[in-house]
Copies of this chain bind each other. A is one copy, B any other.
Amino acid sequence: MKKFINDPKDFVNEFLEGVALASGGTLKYEPKYHLIYRADMPNKDKVTIIQGSGSGHEPAHTMIVGKGMLDGACPGDVFAGPPVEFVTETSRLLNSPKGILHIVNNYTGDRTAWDMGRELAEADGMKIGTLLVNDDVAVKDSTWTVGRRGVAGNFFVIKAVGAASEEGASLEELLRIGNKVIANVRTMGIALSSCTPPVRGTPLFEIADDEMEVGIGIHGEPGRQRTKLVPASKIVDILLDAVVPDLPFNSGDEVALMINGLGGTPISELYLLYGDAHKKLEKQGIKIFRSYVNEYCTSLEMAGASLTLCKVDEELKRLFLAPAEVSIRVF
C-alpha cells in the first residue's frame, strides 16, 4: 500500500481537516461527525442540503460543500456509510425552519443510517425530505445494495437542488427538482485496476493485467462482467450501449455528458473517452448541452472511468449553469 497517509485510522479525519484549512474560512470542520459544512450555515432563509455516504469517493461529497452545492457533508469511514449519530447531529446543527434535504445514495448501509436518522430528527420536530440516488445501470441488487447503486449522477442532483435552494426554493420544490434529475440521469463505469482502503491495507479485489471490470461499483463491487481489455473506442461503445437505451435517451434529446475518473486515471484519457462519446452521441441525434470531464465520484486510486448522461430541460439547464463555490477548483 503506497499512499500519502500517516496512521491509516486517521486518514479521513486528516484529509477533512485539510479541506477546512484549505477553504480560507468558508468551511468549518466538526471532527465528531466527520462534518464539513459551510461557515455561513445554518441559514433560516434556505433549505439545508446535506449528504453523507462513505469516504473514499472524493471530491464527492465533502469537497463539493459550498454555496450553490451541499451545505454540509458527514461521510463515514472509507467505503462505510455514516453512523446514525452523524445524520441526526448534522441535521440538528444545520437545521432550518424551511426544512432539511437529505441526499442519500442507494446502498443498504447508507439507507439504514439515513432512515433512522430521519426518524429521530423528525421526532425532534425537524422537517425533512429525502432524495434517493440510484443512477448506476450496471446491476440491480449488488453486494451492498437492493436496487440500483448511486454513483456519479449524484453530482447533477446536488448541482440542481443546490442552485434552486440558493434561489429560495421550498423543500417540496427541491424534492420535485431532485427527483426530476434522478429520473433522467444514468451512469455506468469500467475499472482497469483495484484500490486499497487505508485501514484494510490490501486491494479490494484482484484484476489481471489484461482485464477490465465492466459495470464496476464504486466500492469495487462486481459489475456485469470481467472481460479482456479492449481499445477506448470499444469501451465507449459498451458504456453507451448500456446507458443510452436504459432511459432511453432519444434523438432530439439534450443531455449533460460526464466522463468521471475513478481516481487513478489521468485526465488526458478521460478527454479521449469524452471526444469519442461526444461524436457517437451527436451521430445518434443526441445534443450535448454541456461537458463534465473530471473526477466527481472516485474509488480512491482506482484506474477507471464512468459515463453519465443526464437529460436536461430548460429548468435543469438554468440550474446546471448557475454559479457555485466548492473546495475543488483550478484557480
The interface residues of chain A, by DSSP majority, are classed as mixed
A3 lies within 8 A of chain B by Cβ:
yes
Take A18-B274, A274-B18, A328-B330 as given contacts and tell me if A24 and B231 are in contact as well, using a CB distance cutoff of 8 Å. no
Distance A4 CA – B18 CA, assembled complex (angstroms) = 31
Question: Knowing A5-B231, A266-B300, A295-B267 touch, does A15 contact B272 (C-beta < 8 A)?
Answer: yes
Chain B, Cβ-Cβ closest to A156: B331
CB closest residue in chain B, given A324: B331
A159 sits at the interface (CB 8 A): yes
Contact A18–B278 (Cβ < 8 Å) = yes
Of A57-65, A97-105, A146-154, the segment with at least 4 beta carbons within 8 Å of chain B is A57-65
A contact residues, total (Cβ < 8 Å): 73
Shortest CB-to-CB span from A279 to chain B, Å, is 7
CB-CB contacts below 8 Å: A1-40 with B: 2-7, 11, 14-24
In the docked arrangement, what's the CA distance between A265 and B196, Å? 12
Residue among B159, B264, B272, B329 making CB contact with A294, cutoff 8 Å:
B329
Q: How far is the CB of A169 from chain B (nearest CB, A)?
A: 18
What B residues does A43 contact at CB under 8 A?
none
A269 to B5, Cβ gap below 8 A?
yes
Q: Are A4 and B265 in contact (CB under 8 A)?
A: yes
Q: Tell me whether A232 and B330 are in contact in the complex, defined as CB-CB below 8 angstroms, given that A22-B293, A266-B300, A291-B22 are known contacts.
A: no
Complex Cα distance A209/B1, Å?
A: 8
- A4: which of B3, B21, B273, B292 is its contact (CB, 8 Å)? B273
Rounded to whole Å, the gap between the CB of A96 and the closest CB of chain B is: 23
**Of listed A56, A267, A291, residue having the most chain B CB within 10 A:** A267
Contacts from A to B (Cβ < 8 Å): 2-7, 11, 14-24, 55-56, 58-59, 63-64, 69, 155, 159, 192-193, 209, 212, 229, 231-233, 235, 263-276, 278-279, 288, 290-296, 298, 300-301, 303, 305, 320, 324, 326-331
Cβ-defined contact, A276 with B330, below 8 A: no
What is the bound-complex CA distance between A265 and B303, given in angstroms?
A: 10
> Within 8 Å CB of A272, what residues of B?
4-6, 11, 14-15, 18
Closest B residue to A279 using CB positions: B21
User: Is A290 a contact of B24 with CB atoms below 8 Å?
Assistant: yes
Distance of A293 Cα from B15 Cα, bound (Å): 12
Determine the residue in chain B with the shortest Cβ distance to A293: B22
Contact A303 B2 (CB under 8 A): yes
Which of A55, A58, A232 gathers most chain B CB within 10 Å? Answer: A232
A231–B295 Cα distance when bound, in Å, is: 25
> Is B268 a contact of A55 with CB atoms below 8 Å?
yes
Please measure, in the bound complex, the distance between the C-alpha atom of A274 and the C-alpha atom of B16, giving whole angstroms: 10
Identity of the chain B residue whose Cβ is nearest the Cβ of A163 in the assembled complex = B331
How far in angstroms is the closest Cβ of chain B from A229?
A: 6
Residues from chain B with Cβ under 8 Å of A328 in the complex: 267, 293-294, 330
Say yes or no: A275-B329 contact (C-beta < 8 A), given A55-B268, A58-B267, A301-B266.
Answer: no
